């Protein structure tokens, strides 16, 4: 692979998005459009990545902070040639400049590698695509031998040129040394009054530089986003691409059109995903996991054999093997479930460790807690972990049985083998194998009459 300097054009406002957010920061599959492009550039192992910014430049710098990026400011948006010229002083003269776009998120690294392959010091390459509807796009003009002669923007094209279906995608690979020669020679004598990068094609041919063309196999790879309708269309294309990849690797999806993948998703074989499953962030799912309908998983690791029932939400958690979760369970950040743990319906667990084979079955809240092995939590149990200012921990040992409707007021420690009677409010530690009962004595009053509504 040659020395690659990537230039990402991301200076435009995106007027047709009708948004205060710059176009390239709108999200597709949970990542900004421009981040998709940057990630693809990184996959190519580019030696440097240069992002040309303009509109809302500070906002883009902040959104992309913490990455190995160089920024070039295009104060006036005077066309693609002008944009690349702003980054030119930062580029290595012996490198190949790969021109990418911050609003074209689905381009594959494999396609760009094909674009780069024929380029050397005396040649460049252009990525083209044959599309059904070329309206608004620059056309590829070829000679009788089939060699490219020029790229004509639609507003400058003749009727015959507008009938051409092969379009310029905008992606180019160009020797940086040649850019130093060609960019200053581009003129803005066109309908838009802009400096088109595409004009270097004619300059290259005139200078005897070979211009290769590589055809993009999928028009959606080269499709840009100009409005929210196009954003939604590319979202569906991305989801189709990713669900297809996973199904071909052994994942079952009951309806792939109703599964959304929004991050770095790794799924082993023999996993089943039902409808309306959303996977976000970093998600790792081991083999033989079953996920029911309407579940959301964000930044989680799921062990082999675990079953997640319908309408459950899991975030920033580690789930062990052969666990059972839901339906209607919420697993909040900081939670760890050891193997064979069970979280039942309408239960919430936050920043807690649930030991092996322990059960929180129904209508309970466990927060800032640590449960040992074989613990049973009765229905309606809560850990009272917050006094309005500070959070406190509850420690429950192995084989503890907590009766239904119990409140454990932290900080409190229930030692191994202890039993807590139903309806108790536990404010003090419970020793090993002790029975704790903390509730008011029952009174039955004879002759009691309920209040009655008075007639109006």
Q: Coil, helix or strand for 390?
A: coil
Residues with Cβ < 8 Å from 437, sequence gap 6 or more?
Answer: 420, 421, 424
The encoded tokens of residue 17 equal: 């998005």
Q: Residue 362 catalytic?
A: yes
Which of 55, 180, 212, 362 is catalytic? The answer is 362
**What are the φ and ψ backbone dihedral angles of 398, each rounded to 5 degrees?**
-65, 145
Beta bridge partners of 150: 141
CA dist 393 to 265, 275, 367, 397, Å?
A: 33, 37, 8, 13
Tell whether omega for the bond before 34 is within 30 degrees of 0, i.e. cis. no
DSSP state of 95: S
The encoded tokens of residue 89 equal: 């002083």
The encoded tokens of residue 416 equal: 């191994």
Q: Coil, helix or strand for 221?
A: coil
Q: Residue 120, Cβ neighbours under 10 Å: how many? A: 10
CA dist 95 to 199, 205, 266, 405, Å?
A: 21, 20, 35, 69
* DSSP strands (E only) in 16-132: 27-28, 31-32, 48-53, 70-73, 96-101, 123-130
Residue with tokens 């883009």: 60
Terminal CA-to-CA distance of the chain, rounded, Å? 90
Largest pairwise CA distance in the chain: 109
Q: Coil, helix or strand for 178?
A: helix
State how far the Cα of 228 lies from the Cα of 28, in Å rounded to an integer: 11
How is 130-159 classified by DSSP, letter by letter?
E-S--TTSPEEEE-TTS-EEEEE-GGG--H
Half-sphere exposure of 174 (CA within 13 A, CB side): 27
The encoded tokens of residue 354 equal: 């649930």
CA dist 162 to 95, 135, 156, 157, 377, Å?
A: 35, 8, 9, 6, 71
DSSP state of 235: H
Active site residues: 362
């Amino acid at each position: 692979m040659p020395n690659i300097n990537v230039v990402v054009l991301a200076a435009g406002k995106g007027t047709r998005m009708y948004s205060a957010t710059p176009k390239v920061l709108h999200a597709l599959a949970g990542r900004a459009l421009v981040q998709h492009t940057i990630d693809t550039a990184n996959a190519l192992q580019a030696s440097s990545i240069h992002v040309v910014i303009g509109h809302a430049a500070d906002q883009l710098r902040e959104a992309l902070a913490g990455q190995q990026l160089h920024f070039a400011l295009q104060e006036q948006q005077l066309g693609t040639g002008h944009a690349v010229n702003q980054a030119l002083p930062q580029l290595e003269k012996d490198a190949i400049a790969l021109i990418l776009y911050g609003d074209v998120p689905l381009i594959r690294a494999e396609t760009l590698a094909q674009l780069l392959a024929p380029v050397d010091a005396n040649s460049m390459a252009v990525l083209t695509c044959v599309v059904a509807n070329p309206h608004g796009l620059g056309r590829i003009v070829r000679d009788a031998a089939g060699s490219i002669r020029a790229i004509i923007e639609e507003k400058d094209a003749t009727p015959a040129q507008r009938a051409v279906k092969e379009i310029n995608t905008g992606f180019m690979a160009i020797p940086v040394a040649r850019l130093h020669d060609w960019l200053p020679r581009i003129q803005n004598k066109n309908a838009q009054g802009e400096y088109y990068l595409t004009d270097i094609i004619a300059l290259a041919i005139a200078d005897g530089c070979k211009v290769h063309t590589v055809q993009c196999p999928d028009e959606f790879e080269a499709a840009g986003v100009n409005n929210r309708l196009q954003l939604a269309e590319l979202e569906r294309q991305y989801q189709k691409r990713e669900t297809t990849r996973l199904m071909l690797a052994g994942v079952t999806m009951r309806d792939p059109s109703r599964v959304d993948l929004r991050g770095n998703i790794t799924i082993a074989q023999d996993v089943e995903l039902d409808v309306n499953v959303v996977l976000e962030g970093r998600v790792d799912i081991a083999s033989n996991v079953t996920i029911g309908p309407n579940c959301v998983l964000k930044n989680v690791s799921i062990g082999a054999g675990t079953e997640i029932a319908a309408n459950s939400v899991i975030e920033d958690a580690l789930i062990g093997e052969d666990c059972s979760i839901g339906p209607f369970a919420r697993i909040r950040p900081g939670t760890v479930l050891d193997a064979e743990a069970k979280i039942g319906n309408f239960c919430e667990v936050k920043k807690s460790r649930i030991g092996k084979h322990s059960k929180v079955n129904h209508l309970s809240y466990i927060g800032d807690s640590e449960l040992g092995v074989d613990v049973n939590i009765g229905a309606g149990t809560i850990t009272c972990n917050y006094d309005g200012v500070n959070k406190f921990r509850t420690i429950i040992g192995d084989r503890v049985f907590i009766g239904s409707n119990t409140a454990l007021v932290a900080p409190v420690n229930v030692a191994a083998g202890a039993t807590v009677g139903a309806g108790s409010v536990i404010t003090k530690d419970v020793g090993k194998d002790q029975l704790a009962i903390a509730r008011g004595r029952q009174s039955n009053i004879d002759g009691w009459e309920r209040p009655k509504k008075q007639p109006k």
